[in-house]
Amino acid sequence: MSTQKKERKATSLKVMNMHIPSHVLMVIWVFVALFPVYLLIINSFKGRMAIYSNPFGLPTEWTLDNYISVIQGGNFFQYFFNSITVVVVSLFVILLLGSLAGYGLAHWRGKLSKGIYFFFILGMMLPIKIATIRLLELMKIFDLFNTLWSLFFVYIAMGLPTAVFILTEFIHGLPRDLYEAAYIDGAPRSKIYYSIVLPLIKPALATVGIYNLVPIWNDLWFPLIFITREDKKTVLLAVTRLQGQYSTDWPRVFALLTLSALPVILLYLSMSKQFVAGLTAGAVKG
Amino acid sequence: MQTTAQHKLKRQSRLDPGGRYWIWYVLPALIMYCLFMAYPMLDSVRLSLYEGTTGARTFVGFSNYVRLFTDPEVSARFWGAFKNTWVFFAYHMMVQNVLGMLFAVILTNRTMVGRQFYQSVIFIPCTIAVMVTGYLFKLVLNPQFAGPTLRSMGLGALVRPWLGQEQTALHVISLVSVWQWVGIPTMMFVAGLQGISEDLLEAADIAGANSWQTFWYIKYPLLLPVVGMIAILTFVSNFNAFDIIYAMATPDGAPNYSTDLIGSLFYRYGVAGKHPIGIPEPGVGASISTAVFFMLLLGVVPTLRATQGKE
């Protein structure tokens, strides 16, 4: 009798460990999360009229015409080039200045350094959008309006607080012994930064990089305000022109949206672990 | 030459107290940050007391604020956007963050299979630009798109101009935003839950606590700092939301300003200029951003105190 009871308990535990309600909920959400993305991609391969008769199914006739016309019409490659330039330059400078400042703040113990550190941290709580009115005038004064430089500067400033926070903490946590040998040899600080610190903080640099990459690539606000010239537009800004341009040619709109979203989705799928770490690292950031 | 002991002392002081020399490492970042973030942010507060743009700027005291809060036309827009932003925020707190916590509890269950897969999928929408999400849903929700097919499937009730009706547009847009961002609180809660000691949960299990009790009496209180952080994050980002309105409802917060948020109001007054004249009023824009600035401080500081106090 007691073995029967035990068996029953074991099977009920087994059923419990299958987590059926949890799986049901998760499967529903997987569907909710992916169905719109699926619609985005498959409808970009349909003909102009085919989407009305068959909005949800796979295309009966696959076509690349939408992609060809998007790529041929307008300065598609220019937009992509601009977006990539903005991301690469901004990230490079954020990582360079952020790691230098982190190196300095991690070693410099004093009231002033503490103050500077908290001044940076404050920037993690406040969204840079609040500064827009002044920034717009600043860009006009410096003659940076309608140049990619305006975007570099804003994104660098926006990325620095989190970069300084993450990198200072990381460098501070490195074991001191690692420097000892170099100090004894009398190596200058700059050399220690370059040949010892930099290689050690690679994981933290990756975190900071990913943390900034997605928001910079996906930003609409600053390009919308700083850029009006056709040849300086970013991909996202080009997407805004869709409103009027192909308003009735939906498959073409879907194709452009797919092209602008795909690079980040693919990057995410190929390194999702680093992404999740990166995007949740600056948990404090708004 | 110095003795070894002296050398050791020197080495200590060269690196540790280090002195002011370190400023050269910090300065480049500090200058960038001040010039393009701290200074423009603070100066925007000053600009809210002026009218006009550079060159033709006159001091007007608090008149921009008086207009913003009391002028029949401007204040109607401001308080409308203010109310809508709170509705938008409520959706993110009640739907997005609650779902995020639920998902995180499921995803941290060690005996559950396929957690990694679910987690990856939940996060996919977070990597898409808000603009892309906005346009995509604008097309999909258009009755023209799937209307005929849905009707033939007997789902005609779903065919409504969701974004064209004042009573539904803001709610639908909020839900689209929730759809996109639920991955962020999920991941943060997952990180928080993974930090809870296994012994504690085991003790609760031995004491006979069911999973709801374990959640409510153990996991939730320990997650409180994360809850606070997510609340702040949601608050700050919702009071700056703009892209989703721009993509799905135009910067005018159509239909009839029913989806106008503080972010789109700020864009219209401060940067783009109001429809139909199109002349921006930087002073009013700056007063909107200053109001947001103080509102964020008022919301963030008490939340930080209440939830992060223990350490």
Domain annotation covers residue B21: no
**Residue B48 resides in a domain:** no
Query: Is A34–B121 a contact, with Cβ atoms under 8 angstroms apart?
Result: yes
B173 inside domain = yes
Nearest to B135 among A56, A138, A239 (CB): A239
Quote the tokens at residue A148: 């990619």
Is the predicted pLDDT of residue A134 greater than 70, yes or no? yes
pLDDT in tens, A239-278: 887 766 666 688 888 898 999 888 888 988 888 777 777 7
In a domain, B35, yes or no: no
Nearest to B122 among A29, A214, A264 (CB): A29
- Which residue ranges form the domains of chain A, and what is each CATH number? 2-65 (no CATH), 69-281 (1.10.3720.10)
Q: Does some domain include residue B139?
A: yes
Condensed to tens digits (0 to 9), the pLDDT of residues B202-258 reads 888 888 888 888 889 988 998 888 898 899 889 989 999 999 999 999 888 889 899
Q: Which pLDDT belongs to residue A104?
A: 92
CB-CB under 8 Å, A36 with B179: yes
- Restricting to A residues 58-87, those with a Cβ less than 8 Å away from any Cβ of B are none
pLDDT band with cut points at 50, 70 and 90 for residue B10: very low
Phi/psi zone of residue B2: left (φ > 0), alpha (ψ -120 to 50 degrees), beta? beta
**Does residue B85 lie in a domain region?**
yes
ipTM for this model: 0.86
Q: Supply the pLDDT for residue B275.
A: 63
* B243 min Cα distance to partner chain A (Å): 7
Say what percent of chain A tops pLDDT 70: 89
A268: chain B residues, CB-CB within 8 Å: 123-124, 127
Cβ contact B129–A260 (<8 Å): yes
CA distance B237 to chain A (A): 6
* Structural domain contains residue B95: yes
Residue B52 lies in a domain: no
Please give the structure tokens belonging to residue A209.
Answer: 């990089």
Tell me what pLDDT residue A176 has: 78
Q: Evaluate if residue B174 carries a pLDDT over 80.
A: yes
Give A281's pLDDT tier (boundaries 50, 70, 90).
low
**pLDDT band with cut points at 50, 70 and 90 for residue A2:** low
**Using one digit for the tens of pLDDT, what is the confidence trace for A28-62?**
999 999 999 999 999 999 988 888 888 888 888 89
Q: What is the residue-wise DSSP string for B23-73?
A: HHHHHHHHHHHIIIIIHHHHHHHHHTTEES-TTS-EE-TTHHHHHHHH-HH
Domain hosting B270: range is: 73-308
Closest chain B C-alpha to A181 CA, distance in angstroms: 11
Nearest to A127 among B39, B145, B236 (CB): B236
Check: CB of residue A257 under 8 Å from CB of residue A239.
yes
Task: Please identify which residue in the block is written with the tokens 């928080």.
Answer: B192
Backbone angles phi, psi at B252, to 5 degrees: -85, 0
| Mean pLDDT value across residues B288-292 | 92
The total domain count for chain B is 1
Q: Residue B233 sits in a domain of what CATH number?
A: 1.10.3720.10
Question: Any chain A CB within 8 A of the CB of B106?
Answer: yes
- Smallest Cα distance from B33 to chain A, Å: 5
Token representation of residue A216: 């910079």
B1: CB partners within 8 A, 6+ apart:
none
